[in-house]
Structure 1
Amino acid sequence: MRISASEFILFCNPPLENVRRLSSIVPEVELMMDGDAWEHDQNGWAAQVKMLKGINVPMSAHPPAWDVNPAAPLLALREAASFLNKKTLEFCVDMGIKQMVYHPGYYDRDSFFSLNRAKDHAYQLLDELIALAKPAGITLAFENIGGPAATLFTQEEFIHALDGIDPCAQLLLDVGHANMNGWNIPEVIDRTAGRLCALHLHDNDGTCDAHLPMGQGNIDWNRTFASMRQLPDSCVFIMEYQTGTDLEKLAEGRDMLLAALG
């Protein structure tokens, strides 16, 4: 079983320090590439490569997410999203990282813009990223994001989101986002098991993206774990807890996963 933790829990601290602290609790770490350390060196993030490359910790990469929207109606915003995702992919190549998250973007459901067009924009960038990621052996983890007012996909649409698309792209189910949208989490896992490469694990009460430790919201973890047991060994379980959460909660989450799935 692969257990990981997102750097989000230590957000805006130096990445090298974060990786060292998190890897003392879990075997793998997902880099959260927002904040001061990343903002000032977007030309390949060479300084971060130099510092992180020597650490013997398996990592995945989460590209910058704040204000980044591949589905945006404005071309300039889509170009910014394309630049940041492609730079993250180059960073993965330099680091030897083999999995990168892809946020397909958001849609304002109160707007007059076309939802189908927004999805087309998201898939256009995905196609471009696949062309770069596939030769490098990098998996793109296509994540469900946003609450009911902003998500691009319904539950059924997400289940089929990668139908007919190169297997370089796999699904990443964020269970907290799924809960906000009222999805049946065990059903989604059951029906996407053959295409899931990762889960983002955190909890909430169904009304906001609180990123609480597992067990502190209203997600039915017993049913969720029952479905997770069928997932392949390659699927990585990434605890994505809110910034400032006590690291003891991360250790408790690790132990919960080991007890339920180990």
Structure 2
Amino acid sequence: MTLPRLGAAVTLDSFDILRDWICESDRTIEIQDFVHPSVIGADHSGLIAQWRERLEGHRGLRGIHGPFFSLDIAAPDPAIRAVVQERLMAGLDVAGALGATHMVIHSPFTFWHTLNYANYAFLRGVLFEGAAECLAPVLARAAEIDCTVMLENIDDTDPRDRTELVAMIEHPNLMVSLDTGHAELAHGRYGAPPVVDFIAASAARLGHVHLQDADGYADRHWHPGDGVIPWRPVFSALRACPQNPRLILEVQGDHARLPETVSRLEQRGLAC
């Protein structure tokens, strides 16, 4: 399967650096300025106006990274879930205003959960039920604006958790997201499966990928090739997915080097 052209996670500043490279090939972008509580919880109409101006001439697909700080979608307390819903709804309002057709949210699953499913028999069911209840109105709103919610691995060590949650909810506007660096961190620090196994576990429901490299120790967000992830097997695993997930380079710093990174991946026959 031919993979889609690589896109980029951007803020206003990094989009300005990459604008020509992005627009000349209509690359997918993921806007990440709205994740912080100080932004999503305040008047951000000015920021939206700035983005609308920047996006003139961009004809590629768009998405946003939704708010995530302190937002546990599986929180058992309904009062807390109400706050989570409010923030995610605000994220969808941003997505609608910017023509974004995906929004990334964070998984609630952790290494502690994996270690304790057998110890607390009720635990997995409570997490699944809480997440489903929290996301129900969010997904209804996402359907109204034709936006797909992508559930990203963060502290996940069992790649089946997100996939099985998405399968249980079975909503057309909910898919699995994979962050390669988070998976590599979980593999290196917690003994989780390697990145290729995370891909295989969610292949049928994988709609979105954050491509970033790491060293198996921390969440580095390095350019692919700067860490230890074996990229040829990763891209081969992505090609085996039954649908084309959106591929987003999510690097931290040195954004001006992204065209060079993509060119190197293309020359190796890994990406386009």
Same fold (TM over 0.5): yes
Correspondence 1:2 to 2:10: no
Query: C-alpha distance in 2, partners of 1:172/1:246?
Result: 24
Query: C-alpha distance in 2, partners of 1:257/1:236?
Result: 16
Query: C-alpha distance in 2, partners of 1:62/1:144?
Result: 13
Q: Where does residue 99 of structure 2 map in the other structure?
A: 96
Residue 81 of structure 1 is aligned with which of 69, 81, 84? 84
State the secondary structure of the residue aligned to 1:181.
helix
Change (3 A) 1:163 1:219: same
Q: Where does residue 20 of structure 1 map in the other structure?
A: 16
Runs of 4+ off more than 6 Å: 110-114
Higher helix share: 2
Shift of 1:185: 2.1
Query: C-alpha distance in 2, partners of 1:240/1:41?
Result: 20
Q: Indicate conservation of the 8 Å contact 2:68/2:105, yes or no.
A: no
Query: C-alpha distance in 2, partners of 1:169/1:87?
Result: 17
Q: Where does residue 199 of structure 1 map in the other structure?
A: 209
Q: After superposition, what is the alpha-carbon deviation per residue over 1:8-31, rounded to whole angstroms, capped at 9, x for unaligned? A: xxxxxxx44432223333323211
Correspondence 1:224 to 2:225: no
Q: After superposition, what is the alpha-carbon deviation per residue over 1:139-170, rounded to whole angstroms, capped at 9, x for unaligned? A: 11111112xxxx3x612323433114112111
Q: Where does residue 215 of structure 1 map in the other structure?
A: 225
Matched residues, percent identical?
A: 23
Aligned length: 246
Q: Where does residue 240 of structure 1 map in the other structure?
A: 250
The farther-off stretch of 54-63 and 38-47 is: 38-47
Change (3 A) 1:22 1:39: farther
Q: Where does residue 126 of structure 1 map in the other structure?
A: 135
Letter of the aligned partner of 2:93 in structure 1? E
Q: Indicate conservation of the 8 Å contact 1:197/1:235, yes or no.
A: yes
Letter of the aligned partner of 1:196 in structure 2? L
Shift of 1:221: 1.0
State the secondary structure of the residue aligned to 1:208.
coil
Q: Indicate conservation of the 8 Å contact 1:44/1:91, yes or no.
A: no
Q: Indicate conservation of the 8 Å contact 1:104/1:123, yes or no.
A: no
Query: C-alpha distance in 2, partners of 1:40/1:99?
Result: 19
Query: C-alpha distance in 2, partners of 1:44/1:119?
Result: 33
| TM-score between both structures, scaled by the size of structure 2 | 0.78
Unaligned runs of 5+ in 1: 8-14
The farther-off stretch of 23-32 and 39-48 is: 39-48
Q: Where does residue 143 of structure 1 map in the other structure?
A: 152
Q: Where does residue 166 of structure 2 map in the other structure?
A: 162
Shift of 1:60: 0.8
Q: Indicate conservation of the 8 Å contact 1:72/1:106, yes or no.
A: no
Give the RMSD, CA atoms, in angstroms: 2.8
Shift of 1:62: 0.6
Q: Indicate conservation of the 8 Å contact 2:207/2:244, yes or no.
A: yes
Query: C-alpha distance in 1, partners of 2:183/2:175?
Result: 17
Shift of 1:41: 6.2
Letter of the aligned partner of 2:101 in structure 1? K
Shift of 1:79: 3.0
Unaligned runs of 5+ in 2: 188-192
